[in-house]
Amino acid sequence: MLDPLFDQLEDLLPEMSAFRRDLHMFPELSHHETETPKKVAAYLSELGLEVKTGVGGRGVVGILRGDKPGKTVALRADFDALPIQEENDVPYKSRIDGVMHACGHDIHTGALLGTAAVLSKNKDMLEGTVVFLHQFAEEVIPGGAKSMIDDGCLDGVDVVYGAHVSSLHPLGTIGLKEKNAMACGDTFEIEISGRGGHAATPHLTIDPLMVGSQMMINLQQIVSRQVDPVKPAVVSVTAFNGGDSYNVIPDSARIQGTVRTFDNDVRDAIEKSMESIVTTTGEGLGAHVDFTYTRGYPAVWNHPEETKRLEKVAQNTPGVEQIEYIQEQMGMEDFAYYLLERPGTFFWVGGAPAGEPIYPHHHPRFDIDERSMVDIGRLFIGTVYQYLSGVEEQAQPETARAE
């Protein structure tokens, strides 16, 4: 029944690619998206959808009502870019200095717009409503998801799905994960105030670099010695700044980093332990310390029922060659906020460029096979119709979420 729609989507690939390449050439950073939402809104409006702009700040929501009443499915794509200088030599290379779509959000946007185009042409087959969530600022805490939800983007929605393209998996591969899928993402900052002086007389100083170095070593003992080994956790120092001369001990230094967890008790314990270690280390060595711990996105927890639904759809979707149940990932995603409000699942779609060197996400030479947009769109379309048609097997009671 859906083969004609899948064919229509494939026929739209040149149009989706053109839109994606335009976004790629003119990327916009998180919380600074101005032209991107205008382009998305214009495309959705041309399809005849009800369009809401400025949702939660910079979000765009398109609403497609089928010819028959029924439930409501939400599909989400993000459209922000990263502060990276692109190194690819391609016709659609970023024209904005220091800004690049290095995570595939342009692919997500193109795929969701193609999905909207096909579904809008076939709304006589829809037994319900489809909501297209085009989200800003996924890359930077506090993200755009929560503010869009607070602004009502999930009002009336029964279930929500999201996809992320992967440059590390071949085209035709679908990655699924029930329950814990992506980690909570927190950040920390440590400001160390010591007493600077001449490098030749360190006894007359309180060296903030030495204090910070001891803190870094002590912090690494949290995961290795204080966290249950069967509960994943990461404490990573990613920046250590202070001083700019070979013969001057500076007055201050700054440490920054991130914490990734799944278990809320582990998250709380790590924050408490970090504060204790940083404070006592600073005091013991005579330095003043300011410690800031910022809670980021919650963990992405995929609902088992909707993950299984997507698996069934993938098994019958052209172009899907392999379905993998993958391990949980320590990366973070603010799609987690949608899943706290509604049942749903977040999945991965392979898009490794054929015959090219493979570069990971957030790399200056990252790129994606644009055919992955067809794979994402087909899975969205298939899942929408299966959910709205009600032909799937009777759902079993879902296991309660473990906090």
Catalytic residue among 80, 186, 370, 375: 80
Q: What is the pTM of this model?
A: 0.92
138 is known as an active-site residue: yes
Query: Confidence band (pLDDT; 50, 70, 90) for 302?
Result: very high
Q: Which CATH number fits domain 3-182+299-389: 1.10.150.120, 3.40.50.150, 3.40.50.1100, 3.40.630.10?
A: 3.40.630.10
Query: Which listed residue (33, 78, 106, 138) is catalytic?
Result: 138
Domains 3-182+299-389 and 184-297 belong to one CATH topology: no
The ranges assigned to domains in the chain are: 3-182+299-389, 184-297
* Mean pLDDT across 91-96: 98
Q: What number is the average pLDDT over the span 172-197?
A: 97
pLDDT at 63 over 90: yes
% of the chain exceeding 70 in pLDDT: 97
Buried b / exposed e across 15-34, counting CB within 10 Å, b at 16+?
A: ebbebbbebbbbbbbbeebe
Which CATH code for domain 184-297?
A: 3.30.70.360
- Which pLDDT value is given to residue 357? 85
b/e 221-252 (16+ beta carbons within 10 angstroms → b): ebbeeebeeeebbebebeebebbeeeeebbbb
Residue ranges of the annotated binding site for Mn(2+) are 103, 105, 139, 164, 362
Which tens digit of pLDDT belongs to each residue from 101-159? 999 999 999 999 999 999 999 999 999 999 999 999 999 999 999 999 999 999 999 99
pLDDT digits (tens, 9 = 90+) for 207-247: 999 999 999 999 999 999 999 999 999 999 999 999 999 99
Binding residues: 103, 105, 139, 164, 362
